[in-house]
Structure 1
């Protein structure tokens, strides 16, 4: 059985303009879409919609669709498809070619894309980067209502029968990628420019993976 590479997407396959996802233009776009959606869906004023969003954001971090369904009966797929279905070109910067890296690694490894983001956004980004049909498997935490740091990696390891000793997680977030992977005994690559990371390996971008794998 091939060894496995589990790739994060946003901030890993392409660089974010800021280290903190919650300070990016992409996140601001999603926030604005969410507030507009709540305003229209629940017949709220702008201020009421903002307060509704902040309540969900605090109570259900990174699982807004789950919170909106539980608190207001909003259909998860409808919300995700409305708020995340837009052209990635403004937010996804092509500073290197991730497609060629994955194609090269596919010769010897099973490649798996793992994102907390909704599947609609994952698919839009894959299409924009010309990476459709490159990964052996794709997992969306939003679709499964399970974040990486709350058990998504464990689910993937069990469902695919992966051997942690032969599996590598590649991601740009210490809390959501590196630490959950290490807790399961998976090898880790931190992607980015931060000086500190508990990761086993550190690279500036995924083109450097070929030096190690």
Structure 2
């Protein structure tokens, strides 16, 4: 009698839950409990007797399966939330970066600002690639994840080096151009706007 009442309680509890939130094993367990509770103990068929003989084992296995399914569902939810949080953190960082860039543009020289924004674009691109890698390879302790992470780090540094080298070469060219501009009057005896002729009359004559 007590067992039957307990089985009925389990059935009622299952019915009050949102069925969409139940795992497959939980639904099977609820259905099994309902089936057993509906047996007429005074008029059991051979099949019902065989079910009652193993009901404890069946119920225990379904409970184990239900627990595993719940754990898997929780893990999947945790991964999903972690990815959403990472995306939100990235959006916040991008907004802060945009604000910093706006201020930097007002205080930095054009070449320095150009180099800074080029480096930021590279870092942002590889940050997106790492975020995508995190989604595709969930086992961050795997050799594949480590290999891909190292590869991304190497390629990012290569691209940053290209920007740095290019900026340095541009600076040299600009410096040479500026020096040449200052010496544009060398043939006239000028350097930095000053006449270098021993005889200033020659400077004026050239002008």
Q: TM-score surpassing 0.5? A: no
Bigger helix share:
2
Higher Rg of the two aligned structures: 2
Higher strand share: 1
